[in-house]
A and B are shown apart, each in its own frame.
Chain A
Amino acid sequence: MIEPRARPVRRLPVRRDWPSSLIALVQVGLLVGLVLAWELGARFGVIDPFFWSMPSAIFQTGVIFFTQGDAFTDIAFTFRSTLLGFFIGTTMGSLLGMSFWWSRNYARIMQPYIICLESLPKLALAPLIILVFGMGLSSKVAIATALTLVVSTLTSYAGVQAVDKDQERLFYSLGASRWQVFTKLVMPACIPWIISILRVNIGLALTGAIVGEFVSSQHGLGRTILYAGQTYEIPLVWVAVFVLSALSMVMYVSVAYLEKFLRKGIVH
């Protein structure tokens, strides 16, 4: 006979949460360690300083970029094209997606085109867009718009399709017109869907703007990165990348805040 093995007696695992101050300390420590390792590694030849540069050189270049260089012009340029593309793409896409509610035939006719647009690598069109819209701001806005428009269209159309059919029937039972159903039911019901893509769209818009600057531009952080890379000014590449990350984070956090604000105000 096989003796049943004694079952181990266990307790519920205890969760030990470190205090936030300790977490922050470790985070800062990691960062300092990383920067230090980079600096020392470059100084003692463990990594090639020509390609990787080093934090002290990057810092010096950064100071020059902000005091004597085009830092603010570049930031403003990239920021403007991103925001414009974000607003135009999101608004137009949402309206287009919601317009499909009006006619199922129209929605069915448009469907293959939308799918085609979605699968198309829109960044591949960037050189063409630059040709059409020129080297200035409008071509960057156009690329950012192209990236955000399709996502917004598809998402708000998904919102339209998710509108509760019974709720629609309730509106009609109250004697509502199509316009009333659209403005009082379909549009409010789609708002949470649109809010949910704001964060994705701000990232896409920034990508679009940067790619536009890569292809051809006279300003912008993307142009600075490309230009510095071509002339082997590696510290400047790093400076521009860090500034770009900071800009991206600021916009992301703002949109996340906007999203929270909208959700509280409109969605319950």
Chain B
Amino acid sequence: MSSQPKLVLENVSMTFQTDGQPFTALAPVDLQIPANKFISLIGPSGCGKSTIFNIVAGLQPPTTGRVLIDGEDATGLIGRVGYMLQKDLLLPWRTVLDNVALGMEIRGVKMKDARERAMPLLAKYGLGGFEHRYPSSLSGGMRQRAALLRTLLVDQDVVLLDEPFGALDAQTKGRMQEWLLQLFNDFGRTVVFVTHDVEEAIFLSDEIYVMASRPGRLVEKLPIDLPRPRDRSVVSSPRFVAMKKYCLDLLHMDKPASEAA
């Protein structure tokens, strides 16, 4: 059954009650994500990207619908996916090493074993020499690396990344994207990635879902058939530029007339 999708969203919708008024943050969404692919969700802010992640991670019960992982109902179950929230959320009183080991520790791995497992990975993925430092002394890029390693080390097949590079400067962001592709290659997980940066989404992904807001919904699925491994120079290729323009047009269509002017 290798063709079974890794992650499925069936008719998932979310309606919040704000001041007694129902507010549809997410209209019913159907989504099938194949194993070992890199999928991006792009869309304007407020279109429900984080809401989808919260539902998949079991932190938020959906109003309707089910979440399936490997064909099993995982709606409302926590700890079934690796989830990197929009902030790095490193614990200031733990060293980088102990922050990265947190996920394993919570799953009941002995602290000593968790550290032993994390240590070589820190060195390999650009945090060598920072193992025993505290997060406050790290740069933004380093903090994101630590948060991402923590997410990957919980050993779940599905990894959700919510705008991990949103707050980084362009140069650091570029380096982090390449670093992430290396990780994706080495760890072989199913990644769902949220961003509002179209170029980033195309550069990283196998497939992109474009979303729209009011109500939040999926509007289009775009396969990205650029060969891997990808080099930075791909961004100026005609295929890339054409896809980028197409995505941007889709995103702009969503804006109400007053904003688009």
Contact = CB atoms under 8 A, between A and B. Distances in A.
Interface string A177-192: 0001000110010010
Nearest to B53: A173
B78 A266 contact: no
Contact of B85 (A170, A185, A267, A268): A170
A173 B92 contact: no
Which 9 A-B residue pairings sit nearest by Cβ, starting from the closest?
A175-B79, A268-B134, A173-B83, A170-B89, A174-B106, A176-B106, A173-B57, A174-B103, A188-B93
Interface residues of B, number: 24
B60 to A, nearest CB: 9
A173 B251 CA distance: 30
A102 interface: no
A268 B93 contact: yes
B107 interface: yes
Interface residues of A, number: 19
Contacts, number: 56
Contacts of B91: 167, 185, 188
Contacts of A267: 92-93
Interface string B13-29: 00000000000000000
B211 interface: no
Contacts of A191: 93
B41 interface: no
27 contacts: A164-B89, A166-B86, A166-B87, A167-B89, A169-B85, A170-B85, A172-B58, A172-B78, A173-B58, A173-B79, A173-B81, A174-B78, A174-B79, A174-B102, A174-B103, A174-B106, A175-B79, A175-B106, A175-B154, A184-B102, A188-B91, A188-B93, A266-B93, A267-B93, A268-B93, A268-B134, A268-B136
A58 to B, nearest CB: 49
A171 interface: yes
B51 to A, nearest CB: 13
Given A166-B85, A166-B87, A172 B59 contact: yes
Contacts of B54: 169
A21 to B, nearest CB: 37
Interface of B: 54, 57-59, 78-81, 83, 85-87, 89, 91-93, 102-103, 105-107, 134, 136, 154
A191 B93 CA distance: 10
Interface in A127-176: 164, 166-167, 169-176
A63 to B, nearest CB: 50
Nearest to A170: B89
Contacts of A166: 85-87, 89
Contacts of B103: 174
Contacts of B59: 169, 172-173
Given A167-B91, A174-B102, A266-B93, 18 more contacts: A169-B54, A169-B85, A170-B89, A173-B58, A173-B59, A173-B81, A173-B83, A174-B78, A174-B103, A174-B106, A174-B107, A175-B80, A175-B106, A175-B154, A176-B78, A176-B79, A184-B102, A268-B93
B242 to A, nearest CB: 37
A263 to B, nearest CB: 11
A176 B54 CA distance: 15
A268 B80 CA distance: 31
B146 to A, nearest CB: 13
Contacts of A176: 78-79, 106
A14 B98 CA distance: 48
Contacts of B106: 171, 174-176, 180, 184
Contacts of B80: 175
B243 to A, nearest CB: 32
B138 to A, nearest CB: 11
Nearest to B83: A173
A208 to B, nearest CB: 32
A15 B87 CA distance: 43
A95 to B, nearest CB: 19
